[in-house]
A = this chain, B = another copy of it.
Amino acid sequence: MTDVHFNKEKGSQLKLFTPGPVYVPERVLKEIAKPNDTHRSKAYSEMHQMAAEGLQKLLYTKNECLIFTSSATGIMEACVRNLVEEDEKGLFFSIGAFGDRWYEIGVSNGKTSIKEGVEWGKAITSEFSQEALSKDKYSVVFIQANETSTGVYNPIEELAPIIKDSGALLCVDATSSMAGVKLEVDKLGIDIALASVQKCFALPPGLAVCSVSTAAFEKAENVKNRGLYFDLITMKKSHVAKYQTPTTPPIPQIRGLTAQLDFILNEEGLEKRFERHERLAKQTRKWVHENDLEMFPEKNYESNTVSTIKNSLNLDIPKMVSMLLDKGYRIVNGYGQLANKTFRIGHMGEIQIKDIDKMLKVLADIIKELK
């Protein structure tokens, strides 16, 4: 055993241009593989603290940053369970599959959940949000920064003040943009900003992180039936007292996270990293137009981390993906209802301009062959 071929060419790493899990550099994989002490050791606490403080810098926040043994969906569930009381209403803005999922989480946890959505490919505008908020009194608002299915980035800097003005707590799912697109948590008053690490952090999956405001912790104290596993109050206690987690955390991924945060903050630098993601996206959009394709998102709301591209040439997408895979690159089909109508190119994490240029050139040749 274990003869699972994860790489087409033996010994060489498949280059993932995916919206997550993404390509993980060798230096991070090496970090992951180091032996560890237990999660109750001093060495662990030191590492946990480094990760938490690094996240605060990344998110421009003084809020506590917590570490979850779950995917981002787990923190989405934590937001719902910790912040919405029985007699309150949660408002879920949805612009795609992950907005719909958050709403489903609300419903499946027995919370009074209202969904306000727009056509896939569009963003939530200031006007739309104002109108939605005026309809009722909502105690918590849930919204994606980057919607991974449609490749739309909501104008979160415009929306946050409007939502906060309504008096609601604000939860932002930044799963596929955190560490790739700037998100100033304190300036925007975001109560919970969450993400998983297999996207712009360029780590293997198995860990999710979030910042939590004082107001969110205070609210959680008074919400019943929060459960234990995702209870923010229990987590805060271990975090603040000992830089630990109440249950056993994914130590390899946390070790990788401290290494990546150090790289992001002290080697590449935050501004340079955000610029690189912007350039990766621009380069991809330029390629899209040069190859007679169209972007799926409405103009000015295209994501900097994942490009969702309309299949305007009516290509055989599974065949195209498979042909590209033979060349050592993976891109992916559209998500759910967008399959075959769109395809997606992820350009996040440690992907460099020269990497995307190289892949796009190969993909252009395949498209010519398929047309």
Q: How far is the CA of A228 from the CA of B73 in the complex (A)?
A: 9
> Would you call B225 and A5 a contact (CB within 8 A)?
no
**A229 cross-chain contacts in B, Cβ below 8 A:** 70, 73-74, 76-77, 105, 230
Main secondary structure of the interface of A (DSSP, over half): loop
List, in ascending order, chain B residues with CB within 8 A of A251's CB. Answer: 21, 204-206
Interface residues, chain A, with chain B CB atoms under 8 Å away = 1-2, 4-7, 13-14, 16, 18, 20-21, 23-24, 29-41, 43, 46-47, 50, 69-74, 76-77, 81, 101, 104-105, 108-110, 196, 198, 204-207, 224-231, 246-253, 255, 258-259, 262, 266, 330, 332
Q: Is A108 within 8 A of B225, CB to CB?
A: yes
Residues in B whose Cβ lies below 8 Å from that of A205: 39, 69, 248-251
What are 11 A-B contacts defined by CB distance under 8 Å? A7-B37, A16-B38, A30-B33, A32-B32, A40-B332, A69-B69, A72-B248, A73-B228, A109-B228, A205-B251, A252-B253
Nearest to A204 among chain B residues (CB) is B252
Q: CA A178 – CA B30 in complex, angstroms? A: 29
Indicate whether A110 sits within 8 Å of B224 (C-beta atoms), given known contacts A21-B251, A196-B248: yes
Q: How far is the CB of A19 from chain B (nearest CB, A)?
A: 9
Given contacts A2-B262, A6-B36, A73-B247, 4 further A-B contacts (CB under 8 A): A4-B255, A21-B36, A29-B33, A196-B248
Give the contacting residue for A21; candidates B38, B77, B262, B332; CB below 8 A.
B38
For A109, list chain B residues within 8 Å (CB). Answer: 225, 227-228
Chain B residues near A105: list those with CB within 8 A. 227-229
Closest-CB distance, A342 to chain B (whole angstroms) = 15
Could you tell me the distance between the alpha carbons of A53 and B225 in the complex, rounded to whole angstroms?
35
Q: Is the CB of B24 within 8 A of A35?
A: yes
Nearest-CB residue, chain B, relative to A22: B38
Interface core residue of A29, A39, A205 (most chain B CB under 10 Å): A205
Which residues of B sit under 8 angstroms from A77, Cβ to Cβ? 227-229
User: Which residue on B lies nearest to A80, using beta carbons?
Assistant: B227
Most chain B Cβ neighbours within 10 Å, of A14, A33, A207, A229? A229
Chain B contacts for A13, CB-based, 8 A:
35
Residue of B nearest to A205 (CB): B248
User: Measured between alpha carbons, how far is A40 from B81 in the docked complex, in Å?
Assistant: 28
